Amino acid sequence: MTDLLGEDELAIEATLNGKPLKRRVKARQHLADFLREELQLTGTHLGCEYGICGACTVMIDGRVARGCLTLAAQISGKSVDTIEGLTESGKLARLQREFIARNAAQCGFCSSGMLLTAYELVRSGRSISRAEIRDFISGNMCRCTGYHAIVDAVEAVIAKNAEKGG
């Protein structure tokens, strides 16, 4: 990457929400700002811009990551999924249904990140306790719900997935 030092812009090729993405990105711009400002994918939110609150959570190569701690340039060669793509593909449908039924979201600002983190957990297929669910989502701050309903929703999806055989 030494030949790119000092460049203001870089060319990247990535997969975004299942589709090819080919763009020039500003070297300084982080992934969340890139998604929001350049691609108008505003479902990924910013709460702190230093990796604590989890509002900017996206998936990179199938694992959750902080959009604010990732430079747009770093996704070159990788596959990125956002709340919009994961909704469209239906992958979040069970979680979204259970969240809605329990009012596990109020202002909705943490929800994109919370859903993606919950998705990584339920997708693992492991059966886990409420305490472990709480632990897993402890990188996603919610100021509105107090977390109880979110844990209920995730627990319900894990239980339903187990019934249906995953």
Partner 1 sequence: MSEKASSSTGVGARIPRRELKRLLSGHGRYIDDIALPRMLHACFVRSPHPHAKIASVDVAAARGAPGVAVVFTAADINPKCEPFVGVALHRPGHRSAPQRLLAEERAVWQGQPVAVVVAESRAEAEDATELVAIEWKPLPAVGDQLQAIAPGAPVIHAELGDNIAFDFSLEKGAPATAFADADIVIEEELRFERQMAMTLETRGLIADFNPAEGSLTVIHAHQSPFQMQEVFSRHLKIPEHKIRVIAPDIGGGFGMKLNLYADEIATVVASMLLGRPVKFCADRLESFVSDSQARDHRIKCRIALNKTGEITAMEMDDISAVGAYGMPLRFNVAEGMMAITLAGAPYKFENYKGRTRSVYVNKNLIGMYRGVGMPLACVATELLTDLAAEKLGLDTVEFKRRNYWPKASLPCVTPGGQKLQNVSFHECLEKLVRLMDYDALRKEQAQLRARGVYRGIGIATFCEQTAYGPPYYGPSGASISTQDGCTLRLEPSGAVRCITSLTDQGQGTLTSVAQIVADSVGVSIEQVSVAGGDSAISPYGGGAWASRGTAIGGEAALRAGLMLKQNILALASAVTQTPADALSIADGEVINTRSGQAVISLADVGRIGYFRQDTLPADFDVQLSVSASFVANDKMYYMANGVQGSYVEVDCETGFTTMLGQWAVDDCGRVINPLLVDEQVRGGIVQGIGAALFEECIFSDDANLLNGTMADYLVPMAAEMPDIVLDHVETPEPSTRLGAKGIGEGGLIGAMGSVWVAVNDALKPLGAKVRHQPFTPERILDALARRE
Binding footprint of partner 1 on the chain (CB under 8 A): 28-29, 33, 36-37, 41-50, 52-53, 55, 82-84, 87, 92, 96, 99-103, 105-112, 115, 130-131, 133-135, 137-151
Q: Which is nearer to partner 1, 4 or 107 (CB)?
A: 107
Q: Which is nearer to partner 1, 70 or 111 (CB)?
A: 111
Sheet-wide strand order for 63-66: 19-26, 9-16, 79-81, 57-60, 63-66
Listing DSSP states for 95-146 in one string gives: HHHHHHHHT--SS-TTHHHHHHHHHHHHHT-----HHHHHHHTTTS--SSS-
Q: Which is nearer to partner 1, 12 or 81 (CB)?
A: 81
Interatomic CA distance for residues 104 and 96, integer angstroms = 9
Least distance from C-beta 91 to partner 1, angstroms?
12
Least distance from C-beta 51 to partner 1, angstroms?
9
Least distance from C-beta 39 to partner 1, angstroms?
12
Interatomic CA distance for residues 93 and 123, integer angstroms = 13
Contact yes or no for 121/140 (Cβ under 8 A): no
Least distance from C-beta 165 to partner 1, angstroms?
26
Q: Which is nearer to partner 1, 13 or 138 (CB)?
A: 138
